[in-house]
Amino acid sequence: MSPGIEVRDLRLRYGRTVALDGLTFRLDGGKVYGLLGRNGSGKTSLLSVLAAFRKASGGEVLVGGQNPFENAAVVRDICFIRDRVDVSDDERVSAALAYARDVRPNWDAAYADKLVNLFRLPLRKSVSALARGQRSALGITLGLATRAPLTIFDESYLGMDAPSRYAFYDELLNDYLANPRTIIVSTHLIEEVGSLFEEVVIIDEGRLVVHEQADGLRARGASVTGPAADVDRLVGELRTGRDLVVLGEQQLGGTKSTTVFGHLDESARARVRASGLELGPVALQDLFVHLTKKPENLENSR
């Protein structure tokens, strides 16, 4: 089972601080979703509500069609791996894995053993004696081997070295293909993990900035580069009659690069090329930077 998620007008407050402010989106489930946002944008708050770690202040969250908060049938199928793994510091790694084996209905012990070897986790060491990256690797091992229908990783790779992070990405993809489920990955390392995402949700200041298919989002971004005057003139013309937003501009001497976001049809692309300007793709990370720099743009664009 790969539960879908429906979020309607979700609000969460911590005292006077508004963490989530009327968030609305729908995930069909059975995909790998990327949740992106700047520090303090509300990512962890959103995930905490999805995983029933927190009760929403308002609005509604449905996981598999049901409110997850205090719902035994739903929460047992959710695994939320946070930036600091939820284990006892004074227990051994082997005990932490045994605990998960005892309480998680879909726990795959053989796969956990494989991940322990892959990440070179010392089973006899206590969690407090692990390096930061090893703790993260333990969290990832717990998250993957739990095989929860809804698996959430929130900055779970902190402190892991590059080989371990790439091993995680490979395992995430392979295990997802072998055991399809709904996976949400919240990350700042967008370039590293972005290729795994089938859909991307970007939030900022507790509000939805964009929810798109990852490929569709990439296709909606483009950079127009060339002589500054030509770029300004052409971008201005392209925006006429089109839902095209300028996300950012960079200029070096007389050369300018303007990042635009929106539906750039084939005639527009041909026009850019015909005018001798360069039309380039925009990396997901760059789109993210631009989109969250301009929060007034593209809200609820889907």
Partner 1 sequence: MTTSNASAAGKIARLLGRGHLKVLVGFWVVVLVGWAGTVATIETFVGLKTSTWWWFTRSAPKYFLLVLGILAASVYLPRFIAYGFTRRDVRVGTGALAGVLALAFGALVLVGFGIESVVFSATGISDRLTDPYPISSVGDAVGIAVRMILLCLVYPCTGWVLGAGYYRLGVWRGSLFLIPGIAPVFLAETALDAGWLASRFALGAAGAAAAAACVAASAVLAHFVTRDLPIRSTSG
Fill in the per-residue mask, 26 to 55: x = in contact with partner 1 (CB under 8 A), - = not in contact: ------------------x---x---xxxx
In whole angstroms, what is the distance from residue 19 CA to residue 57 CA?
10
From the CB of 105, what's the least distance to partner 1, in Å?
A: 8
Q: Closer CB to partner 1, residue 84 or residue 114?
A: 84
Buried b (16+ CB within 10 A) or exposed e, 156-165: bbbebeeebb
* 1 near partner 1, rule: CB under 8 A: no
Question: Which tokens in the block code for residue 239?
Answer: 């925006």
Size, binding site for partner 1 by CB under 8 A: 30
What distance lies between CA 262 and its chain's CA centroid? 21
Q: How many degrees, rounded to 5, is the angle at CA 132 between CA 288 and CA 147?
A: 70
Q: Closer CB to partner 1, residue 55 or residue 263?
A: 55
Question: Which tokens in the block code for residue 69?
Answer: 């908060």
From the CB of 215, what's the least distance to partner 1, in Å?
A: 32
Q: Closer CB to partner 1, residue 7 or residue 291?
A: 7
Candidate segments 31-39, 63-71, 115-123, 174-182, binder of partner 1 by CB under 8 A: 63-71
Q: Closer CB to partner 1, residue 31 or residue 54?
A: 54
CA atoms lying within 13 Å on the CB side of residue 84? 4
Backbone angles phi, psi at 54, to 5 degrees: -135, 150
10 Å CB burial of residue 118 (0-12, 13-18, 19+) is middle
Q: Which of 73, 68, 76, 116 shows the shortest CA–CA distance to 94?
A: 116
Fill in the per-residue mask, 114 to 153: x = in contact with partner 1 (CB under 8 A), - = not in contact: ----------------------------------x-----
Q: Is 44 left (phi over 0), alpha (psi -120 to 50) or beta?
A: alpha
Across 77-190, the runs of DSSP E, i.e. the strands, are 78-81, 150-154, 182-186
Residues numbered 64 to 123 that lie near partner 1 (CB under 8 A) are 67, 69-73, 75-80, 82-84, 86-88, 99-100, 102-104
Q: Closer CB to partner 1, residue 89 or residue 170?
A: 89
From the CB of 44, what's the least distance to partner 1, in Å?
A: 6
Q: Catalog residues that contact partner 1 under the rule CB under 8 A.
A: 44, 48, 52-55, 67, 69-73, 75-80, 82-84, 86-88, 99-100, 102-104, 148
